[in-house]
């Protein structure tokens, strides 16, 4: 038990857990940002987000094993492969919206509040089932992983006295990439003209149409971007842990917990929410057995929904 | 409601179940027999889901929570305590109902996607908890002596027979609910929760009963499933595919009808099982793909399910959309055929005959702010019984806010509202309705597949105990508004005039003493307005007080005894139409100060 | 510029507009007045495309608008300043204006538009980085009008700009609208409940009631009789 350990050991394990939490939290942050973009702009509940992430994982894996590892070496190859998941998922998300999601979302659905939601939930549930089971058929159920040379080396940071924290090199790199992509996404949404048109379409779709913004197209871009972001996050997670086709669903709750925690509708909030969930997950290992880690996330999720549905990092001004 | 049509509602399910059993009798392969059993199981699960989500419109993605509880109750009670599954299933049902209550009470406060996500989270949380508790795999032991007492049979057909028996019972229960007041109340709240509340339906109670019933059935069939499979794992009990299957068979087959889940299960389960068997090795997970495609197809092409697709194509029983010869019903005279006991009861004195006018509604100092905005500011007025009063004012004056306060949808910050001397502030809308306040809404949303009369009958539930009473009130109300020839038409094809009359009839069926009409005339053509005016006058002549919000001034001025004019939440004028319409304050409110003051 | 002929539209099965015809020329100023429920906002919605009419035609510079997608109509030169402002509350004033200039014409004329906007509404220049949701009602109305101007329109449509605003602010807004009309070549279609403000500025006014045009004419003509009061109040 904890009290039998020395004070230093306690501090060390807390710091270790914190650093693990931050590292995985950055990846969760990017994952949630993807979902946050989709929900923030289109108000669509996307059950298939986890499975899109899974597709991202496999895309990265195949790019890596199919050639990039030989061409670019085991270090860079892995991360370039992960980045390749971006455009691939962008295209997939674009098509899914074009042919399927657009029929149950957009201006028509927003006008019929209640009915639109059910159709979105069910349609994306259908997409999720198709994706995960097609994955099973195509890839088999053996877990795969993206191994990089960095995976097994770590830096040791000496905090103070005898306390040192081990930071895995590949995980640190993955976290940095996550943050970089998230920042790029924010910059796009906040600075670029098209990015701003997405925010306008989210804020007030009818007014956006009055400005000449094609709201359907804006939604399509948002869906594609969200898919790409989550896909890249997935590829990065694939360098941490092994994965198999059904992994998507485990992460859907993580993503929704993060988005709800951060404030539904706030894209930056989604990132912070994801980070927070990562920390909660790792911190809970100090107190709970490993199987209940995800239960801790559910409990937080339910508490937030009941007690503070608008989240903690939400926007300042309300929508018109 | 007309008394339950026993023969026709039971004949269908009975035939189906007998045929099913007959089919099962001749199937010899144990594998196909198992498929038949499982079809019945999922049909029941779908019916359980339908009883809740199909009728209330609250989509549950977490019915696996109840199902899983049922499987584990039976599995654990049998394997660890030797309790026969016959009892185990009953206990499971009780626990399922309890779980429904515990889950429903907090979760019903959530709206829209929050509700859906919370429901999703429950079974998953349970899944992890059970894994952690060590129940990776619970198997039901084989019973050597008297296996039948423990629901174990060597002949697979017995399992099918029991499952079909189960199915029959649940189909009967569903039918019963469908045709009962409870079922109609559920449909009403699915359609429009506010209107249902205003019509006197206790929506929270209805939802709780529905989820408890649904939970009990899901848990019971879950328990039986454990008996069939003989092994229970957290994944099969609480997994997403379980919730998804309950949802999909109903969605695919038809939401809100007894036949939907049955059709869905009969088509999808064999399909996916056969695919899995034939192609499972080469294409593992093919059944998941099939379910996914079925959901996508259903959502895009038949959002309410196959059953309704075909139902809507069938020829109507009445002459399809034959326009009623409007003229014959528009003249005021035939409306005089009103049954007096259908409307205001005899003990209400008519305003014209009583010596001093009785104040049926007294509003004193009513105020309400929303955020920083004062929507209603210290409003006081009284309305005499039997009067026809119009509440008018420019846009944003607070007219609908006022109605919402009178009706119980919002609580005022200050002030009181006395109905015949009794304070009604703080009562819920359905209680206020029962006290005699009827209300219509601007957007009329009837239940499209129910007849006009059935729609009207919903309004009578809050003031009647038996089906015959409710039916009588509904007929009288329908007669009053002049829709008696259209009473058997399905509500989906009605014109806007008929819809307004339907809304009025529904409010009348609740035996109101005072009617709050919200923009009943908006958007109607001249002739239609005339007809509605005649009906409203007729209702008023029977002693019911009418308070009407309207924009269509040229109609209002001929209808009302007096106006109350609101602007920015306060009363700026009251009086007879011709005085009020020339009142400079009123002109200023409507046309602007400058116009009113021009030289 | 704008030619509306026999426009009929319904909303959830209720007839909202019935055989409405309106003409508006280059650099013209036309007002449509009427009480609530008259169909004024429905008229706007059909022109901007938010609602599909049942019958009739809407021609902008000879082009039939019913064949053009709603999100493409602003690119033809119509700016719509909707009822209730509808600013992008979570974006800054400047970003709102940028969205207003989303069209190609708007982007080209960005600098000049900004000059015009800031000289007409100096308060917006002061608050350019403030979130639009935190502006006062009057400031939001100014922003909404400016957003319309930013698209460098040929036709500016205003839907009840006075709604929910204090009288002094209303006065200010209408003065600015008059200025805009004098200083640019923009045509203006104004829908209003307040009669005087709308009639004084326009060349020609239409009185809409229960979906039909009851009266039309210039201020001098219409101010003569009791027709407008009767249209609003029924008696």
Beta carbons of B286 and A133 less than 8 Å apart: yes
Could you tell me which residues come within 8 angstroms of residue B474 by beta carbon, excluding any fewer than 6 positions away?
B453, B456, B457, B459, B460, B505, B509
pLDDT at residue B264, as a whole number? 92
Taking the CA of residue B482 and the nearest CA in chain C, the distance in Å comes to: 20
| Mean pLDDT calculated for residue range B478-484 | 89
A213 lies within 8 A of chain C by CB: yes
Spatial distance between the Cα atoms of A185 and C124, rounded to a whole number of angstroms = 29
Q: Among the ranges B2-6, B44-48, B103-107, B565-569, which has the highest mean pLDDT value?
A: B44-48
Q: Are A227 and C118 in contact (CB under 8 A)?
A: no
Same fold yes or no, B6-240 and B337-445+512-598? no
Q: Which chains touch B (3 or more CB pairs under 8 A)?
A: A, C
Find the CB nearest C234 among B495, B496, B554: B554
C210 lies within 8 A of chain B by CB: yes
A141 lies within 8 A of chain C by CB: no
pLDDT at B389 over 50: yes
pLDDT at A54 over 90: yes
Beta carbons of B128 and A294 less than 8 Å apart: yes
Place of tokens 């002094």: C168
- Summarize pLDDT for C15-27 with one digit per residue, the tens: 789 899 999 999 9
DSSP bridge pairs for B546: B388, B515
Spatial distance between the Cα atoms of B367 and B369, rounded to a whole number of angstroms = 7
pLDDT at residue A314, as a whole number? 65
Q: Both tokens of residue C102?
A: 């989303």
A245: nearest CA partner in chain B? B285
B302 lies within 8 A of chain A by CB: no
Spatial distance between the Cα atoms of B95 and B237, rounded to a whole number of angstroms = 15
DSSP bridge pairs for B363: B381, B417
Residues B328-340: b if buried by 16+ CB within 10 A, e if exposed: ebbeeeebeebee
Residues B212-247: b if buried by 16+ CB within 10 A, e if exposed: bbbbbbbbbbbbbbbbbbeebbbbbbbbbbbbbbbb
B118: nearest CA partner in chain A? A302
Beta carbons of C194 and B592 less than 8 Å apart: yes
Is residue A158 very low, low, confident or very high in pLDDT (cuts 50, 70, 90)?
A: low
Distances in Å between the alpha carbon of B471 and those of B249, B457, B477, B564? Answer: 35, 6, 10, 36
Q: Taking CB atoms and an 8 Å cutoff, what residues of chain C touch A266?
A: none
Q: Both tokens of residue A98?
A: 């074009």
Q: If you count them, how many residues does chain A have? A: 320
Which of B397, B590, B599 is best to mutate for the C interface (most C CBs within 10 A)? B590
Q: Are C158 and B553 in contact (CB under 8 A)?
A: no
pLDDT at residue B318, as a whole number? 42
Beta carbons of B523 and C233 less than 8 Å apart: no
Beta carbons of A209 and C50 less than 8 Å apart: yes
- Helix or strand holding residue C153 (H, E): none
Q: Are B57 and B190 in contact (CB under 8 A)?
A: yes
Counting runs of H as helices and runs of E as strands, what totals does chain B give?
Answer: 26, 12
Handedness of CA B345, B350, B354, B360 (dihedral sign): positive
Taking the CA of residue A140 and the nearest CA in chain B, the distance in Å comes to: 8
| Mean pLDDT calculated for residue range C148-158 | 93
Q: Of B349 and C168, which is predicted with more confidence?
A: C168
Q: Taking CB atoms and an 8 Å cutoff, what residues of chain B touch A125?
A: 61, 244, 247, 292, 295
Nearest-CA neighbor of B53 among B119, B129, B146, B144? B119
Which of A191, A210, A214 is best to mutate for the C interface (most C CBs within 10 A)? A210
Spatial distance between the Cα atoms of B233 and C186, rounded to a whole number of angstroms = 72
Q: Both tokens of residue B19?
A: 């045929």
Distances in Å between the alpha carbon of B100 and those of A187, A304, B66, B220, C148? Answer: 46, 21, 8, 13, 53
pLDDT at residue B343, as a whole number? 42
Taking the CA of residue C200 and the nearest CA in chain B, the distance in Å comes to: 10
pLDDT at B342 over 50: no
| Mean pLDDT calculated for residue range A79-105 | 90
Nearest-CA neighbor of A215 among A305, A311, A301, A105? A105
Q: Is B221 helix (H, G, I), strand (E, B) or coil?
A: helix
How many CB atoms sit inside 10 A of residue A91's CB?
A: 13
Per-domain boundaries in chain B = 6-240, 337-445+512-598
Q: Taking CB atoms and an 8 Å cutoff, what residues of chain C touch B395?
A: 36, 163, 193
Beta carbons of B284 and A137 less than 8 Å apart: yes
pLDDT at B599 over 60: no
Q: If you count them, how many residues does chain C have? A: 235
pLDDT at residue A207, as a whole number? 92
pLDDT at B336 over 60: no
A110 lies within 8 A of chain B by CB: no
Q: Taking CB atoms and an 8 Å cutoff, what residues of chain C touch B555?
A: 234
How many CB atoms sit inside 10 A of residue B172's CB?
A: 17
pLDDT at B455 over 50: yes
Beta carbons of C89 and A316 less than 8 Å apart: no
pLDDT at B321 over 60: no
Q: Are B266 and B247 in contact (CB under 8 A)?
A: no
Beta carbons of C133 and A210 less than 8 Å apart: no
DSSP state of B147: G
Half-sphere exposure of A38 (CA within 13 A, CB side): 33
C-alpha triplet C160, C163, C165: angle, nearest 5°:
135
Burial of residue B155 (CB within 10 Å: 0-12, 13-18, 19+) is: exposed
A201: nearest CA partner in chain C? C88
- Summarize pLDDT for B58-105 with one digit per residue, the tens: 888 889 999 999 999 999 888 888 888 888 899 999 999 999 999 999
pLDDT at residue B322, as a whole number? 33
Mean per-residue pLDDT of chain A: 83
C167 lies within 8 A of chain B by CB: yes
Beta carbons of C195 and B395 less than 8 Å apart: no
Distances in Å between the alpha carbon of B271 and those of B189, B264, B277, B296, C27? Answer: 35, 11, 10, 16, 68
Using a CB cutoff of 8 Å and minimum separation of 24, what contacts does B376-382 make?
Answer: B376/B401, B376/B402, B376/B405, B376/B412, B376/B569, B377/B568, B377/B569, B377/B570, B378/B414, B378/B415, B378/B570, B379/B415, B379/B566, B379/B569, B379/B570, B379/B571, B380/B415, B380/B571, B381/B564, B381/B571, B381/B574
Spatial distance between the Cα atoms of B67 and B75, rounded to a whole number of angstroms = 12
Spatial distance between the Cα atoms of A299 and B547, rounded to a whole number of angstroms = 49
Could you tell me which residues come within 8 angstroms of residue B193 by beta carbon, excluding any fewer than 6 positions away?
B203
pLDDT at residue B350, as a whole number? 40
Find the CB nearest B581 among C10, C193, C233: C233
Q: Of B535 and B132, which is predicted with more confidence?
A: B535
Q: Are B561 and B586 in contact (CB under 8 A)?
A: no
| Mean pLDDT calculated for residue range A99-127 | 72
Is residue A318 very low, low, confident or very high in pLDDT (cuts 50, 70, 90)?
A: very low
Half-sphere exposure of A247 (CA within 13 A, CB side): 24
Tell which CATH classification among 1.20.1260.10, 2.40.70.10, 3.40.50.2300, 3.40.50.300 matches the domain B337-445+512-598: 3.40.50.300
- Helix or strand holding residue B332 (H, E): none
Q: Among the ranges A209-213, B228-232, B373-377, C222-226, which has the highest mean pLDDT value?
A: A209-213
pLDDT at residue A112, as a whole number? 47
Q: Both tokens of residue B16?
A: 């189906």
Taking the CA of residue C165 and the nearest CA in chain B, the distance in Å comes to: 11
| Mean pLDDT calculated for residue range B369-385 | 88
Could you tell me which residues come within 8 angstroms of residue C76 by beta carbon, excluding any fewer than 6 positions away?
C60, C61, C63, C65, C68
C37 lies within 8 A of chain A by CB: no
C10: nearest CA partner in chain B? B523
Domain B6-240: CATH superfamily is ABC transporter involved in vitamin B12 uptake, BtuC (1.10.3470.10)
| Mean pLDDT calculated for residue range A274-303 | 84
pLDDT at residue B339, as a whole number? 38
Spatial distance between the Cα atoms of A60 and C147, rounded to a whole number of angstroms = 44
Find the CB nearest B59 among A121, A131, A253: A121
Stretch 90-129 of chain C: residues touching chain A, C-beta under 8 Å:
90-91, 95, 98-100, 102-103
Is residue B574 very low, low, confident or very high in pLDDT (cuts 50, 70, 90)?
A: very high
Nearest-CA neighbor of B382 among B571, B524, B154, B238? B571
Spatial distance between the Cα atoms of B200 and B428, rounded to a whole number of angstroms = 9
Which of B295, B305, B372 is best to mutate for the A interface (most A CBs within 10 A)? B295
State how beta strands B545-549 and B388-392 pair.
parallel
Q: Is B365 helix (H, G, I), strand (E, B) or coil?
A: strand
Q: Which chains touch C (3 or more CB pairs under 8 A)?
A: A, B
pLDDT at C98 over 80: yes
Stretch 69-108 of chain A: residues touching chain C, C-beta under 8 Å:
none
**Alpha carbon of residue B338 to chain centroid:** 30
Taking the CA of residue B196 and the nearest CA in chain C, the distance in Å comes to: 21
Distances in Å between the alpha carbon of C30 and those of A124, C146, C173? Answer: 49, 19, 17
**Alpha carbon of residue B141 to chain centroid:** 44
Spatial distance between the Cα atoms of A30 and A182, rounded to a whole number of angstroms = 6
Beta carbons of C89 and A211 less than 8 Å apart: no
**What is the percent of chain B with per-residue pLDDT over 70, rounded to a whole number?**
91
A314: nearest CA partner in chain C? C90
Phi/psi at C79 (5° precision): -110, 130
Q: Taking CB atoms and an 8 Å cutoff, what residues of chain A touch B287?
A: 133
pLDDT at A32 over 90: yes
B124 lies within 8 A of chain A by CB: yes
Distances in Å between the alpha carbon of B341 and those of B333, B482, B561, B565, C25? Answer: 19, 17, 25, 34, 63
Beta carbons of C16 and B443 less than 8 Å apart: no
| Mean pLDDT calculated for residue range A132-140 | 88
Spatial distance between the Cα atoms of C111 and C116, rounded to a whole number of angstroms = 9
Q: Which chains touch A (3 or more CB pairs under 8 A)?
A: B, C
State how beta strands C187-192 and C155-159 pair.
parallel
Q: Among the ranges A142-156, A252-266, B30-44, which has the highest mean pLDDT value?
A: B30-44
Beta carbons of B286 and A137 less than 8 Å apart: yes
pLDDT at B151 over 90: no
Q: Taking CB atoms and an 8 Å cutoff, what residues of chain A touch B283?
A: 137
Beta carbons of A212 and C91 less than 8 Å apart: no
pTM of the predicted model as reported, rounded to 2 decimal places:
0.84
Find the CB nearest B117 among A137, A289, A305: A305
Beta carbons of A200 and C88 less than 8 Å apart: yes
Spatial distance between the Cα atoms of C28 and B121, rounded to a whole number of angstroms = 60
Q: Taking CB atoms and an 8 Å cutoff, what residues of chain C touch B581?
A: 229, 233-235
Q: Is B193 helix (H, G, I), strand (E, B) or coil?
A: helix
C194 lies within 8 A of chain B by CB: yes
pLDDT at residue C50, as a whole number? 86
């Amino acid at each position: 038990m904890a009290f039998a350990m020395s004070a230093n050991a306690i501090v060390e394990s807390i710091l270790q857990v914190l650093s693990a939490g931050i590292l995985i939290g950055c990846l969760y942050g990017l994952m949630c940002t993807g979902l946050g973009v989709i929900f923030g702009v289109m108000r669509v509940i996307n059950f298939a987000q986890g499975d899109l992430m899974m597709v991202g994982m496999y895309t990265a894996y195949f790019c890596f094993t199919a050639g990039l590892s030989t061409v670019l070496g085991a270090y860079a190859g892995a991360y370039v492969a992960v980045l390749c998941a971006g455009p691939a998922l962008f295209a997939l998300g674009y098509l899914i919206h074009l042919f399927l999601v657009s029929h149950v979302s957009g201006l028509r659905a927003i006008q019929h509040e209640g009915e639109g939601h059910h159709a979105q939930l069910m349609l994306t549930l259908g997409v999720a089932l198709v994706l995960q089971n097609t994955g099973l058929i195509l890839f088999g159920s053996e877990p795969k992983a993206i191994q990089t040379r960095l995976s097994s080396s770590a830096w040791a940071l000496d905090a103070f006295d005898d306390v040192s924290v081990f930071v895995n090199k590949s995980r640190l790199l993955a976290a940095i990439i996550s943050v970089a992509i998230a920042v790029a996404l924010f910059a796009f949404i906040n600075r670029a003209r098209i990015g701003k048109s997405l925010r306008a379409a989210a804020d007030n779709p009818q007014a956006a149409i009055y400005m000449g913004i094609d709201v359907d197209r804006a939604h399509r871009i948002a869906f594609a971007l969200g898919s790409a972001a989550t896909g890249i996050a997935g590829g990065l997670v694939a360098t941490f842990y092994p994965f198999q086709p059904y992994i998507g669903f485990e992460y859907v709750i993580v993503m929704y917990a993060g988005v709800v925690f951060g404030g539904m509708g706030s894209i930056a909030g989604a990132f912070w929410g994801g980070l927070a969930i990562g920390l909660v997950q790792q911190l809970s290992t100090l107190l709970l057995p490993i199987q209940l880690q995800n239960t801790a996330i559910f409990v937080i999720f339910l508490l937030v929904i009941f007690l503070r549905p608008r989240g903690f990092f939400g926007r300042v001004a309300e929508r018109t | 409601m007309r008394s339950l049509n026993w023969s026709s509602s039971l004949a269908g399910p009975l035939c189906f179940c007998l045929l099913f059993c007959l089919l099962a009798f001749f199937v010899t392969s144990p594998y196909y027999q198992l498929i038949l059993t499982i079809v019945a199981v999922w049909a029941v699960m779908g019916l359980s889901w339908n009883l809740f989500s199909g009728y209330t419109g609250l989509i549950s993605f977490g019915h696996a929570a109840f199902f899983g509880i049922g499987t584990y109750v039976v599995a654990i009670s049998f394997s660890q305590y030797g309790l026969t599954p016959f009892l185990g299933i009953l206990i499971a049902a009780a626990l399922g109902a309890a779980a429904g209550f515990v889950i429903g009470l907090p979760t019903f406060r959530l709206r829209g996607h929050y509700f859906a996500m919370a429901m999703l989270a429950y079974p998953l949380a349970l899944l992890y908890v059970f894994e952690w508790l060590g129940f990776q795999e619970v198997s039901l032991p084989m019973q050597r002596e008297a296996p039948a007492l423990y629901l174990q049979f060597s002949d697979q057909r017995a399992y099918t027979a029991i499952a079909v028996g189960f199915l029959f019972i649940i189909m009967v229960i569903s039918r019963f609910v469908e045709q009962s007041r409870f079922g109609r109340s559920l449909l009403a709240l699915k359609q429009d929760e506010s209107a249902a509340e205003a019509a006197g339906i206790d929506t929270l109670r209805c939802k709780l009963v529905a989820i408890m019933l649904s939970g009990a059935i899901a848990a019971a069939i879950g328990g039986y499933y454990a008996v069939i499979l003989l092994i229970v794992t957290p994944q099969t009990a609480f997994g997403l595919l379980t919730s998804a299957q309950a949802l999909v068979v109903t969605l695919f087959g038809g939401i809100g009808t007894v036949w939907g889940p049955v059709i869905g299960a009969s088509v999808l389960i064999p399909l996916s099982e056969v695919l899995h068997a034939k192609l499972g090795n080469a294409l593992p997970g093919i059944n998941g793909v099939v379910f996914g495609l079925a959901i996508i197809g259903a959502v895009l092409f038949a959002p309410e399910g196959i059953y309704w697709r075909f139902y809507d194509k069938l020829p109507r029983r009445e002459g399809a959309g034959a326009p009623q010869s409007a003229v014959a019903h528009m003249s005021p005279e035939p409306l005089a055929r009103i049954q007096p006991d259908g409307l205001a009861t005899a003990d209400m004195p008519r305003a014209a005959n009583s010596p001093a006018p009785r104040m049926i509604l007294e509003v004193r100092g009513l105020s309400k702010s929303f955020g920083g905005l004062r929507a209603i500011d210290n409003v006081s007025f009284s309305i005499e019984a039997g009067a026809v009063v119009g509440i008018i004012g420019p846009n944003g004056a607070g007219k609908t806010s006022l109605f919402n306060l009178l009706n119980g949808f919002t609580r005022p910050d200050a002030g009181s509202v006395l109905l015949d001397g009794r304070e009604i502030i703080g009562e819920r809308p359905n209680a206020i309705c029962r006290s005699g306040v009827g209300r219509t809404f601007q957007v009329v949303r009837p239940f499209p597949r129910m007849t006009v009369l059935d729609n009207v009958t919903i309004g009578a539930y809050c003031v009647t105990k038996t089906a015959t009473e409710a039916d009588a009130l509904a007929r009288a109300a329908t007669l009053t508004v002049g829709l008696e020839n259209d009473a058997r038409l399905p509500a989906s094809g009605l014109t806007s005039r008929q819809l307004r009359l339907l809304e009025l009839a529904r409010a009348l069926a609740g035996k109101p003493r005072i009617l709050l009409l919200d923009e009943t005339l908006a958007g109607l053509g001249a002739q239609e307005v005339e007809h509605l005016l005649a009906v409203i006058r007729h209702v008023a002549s029977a002693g019911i007080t009418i308070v009407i919000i309207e924009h269509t001034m040229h109609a209002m001025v001929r209808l009302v005894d007096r106006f109350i004019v609101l602007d920015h939440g306060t009363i700026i004028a009251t009086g007879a139409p011709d005085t009020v319409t020339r009142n400079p304050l009123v002109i200023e409110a409507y046309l602007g100060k400058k116009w009113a003051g021009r030289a | 510029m704008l030619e509306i002929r026999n426009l009929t539209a319904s909303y959830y099965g209720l007839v909202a507009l019935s055989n409405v015809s309106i003409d508006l020329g280059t650099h013209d100023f036309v007002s449509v007045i009427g009480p609530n429920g008259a169909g004024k906002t429905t008229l706007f919605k059909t022109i901007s495309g938010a609602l599909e009419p049942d019958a009739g035609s809407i021609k902008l510079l000879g082009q039939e608008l019913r064949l053009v997608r709603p999100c493409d109509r602003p690119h033809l030169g119509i700016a719509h300043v909707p009822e209730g402002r509808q600013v992008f509350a979570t974006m800054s004033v400047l970003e709102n204006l940028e969205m207003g200039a989303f069209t190609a014409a708007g982007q080209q004329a960005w600098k000049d538009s900004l000059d015009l906007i800031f000289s007409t509404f100096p308060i917006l220049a002061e608050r350019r980085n403030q979130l639009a949701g935190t502006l006062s009602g009057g400031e939001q109305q100014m922003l909404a009008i400016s957003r319309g101007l930013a698209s460098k329109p040929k036709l500016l449509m205003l839907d009840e700009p006075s709604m929910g605003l204090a009288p002094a602010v209303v006065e200010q807004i209408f003065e600015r609208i008059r200025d805009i009309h004098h200083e640019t070549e923009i045509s203006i279609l104004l829908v209003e409940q307040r009669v005087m403000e709308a009639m004084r500025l326009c060349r020609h006014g239409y009185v809409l009631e229960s979906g039909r045009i009851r009266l039309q004419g210039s201020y001098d003509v219409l101010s003569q009789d009791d027709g407008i009061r009767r249209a609003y109040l029924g008696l």
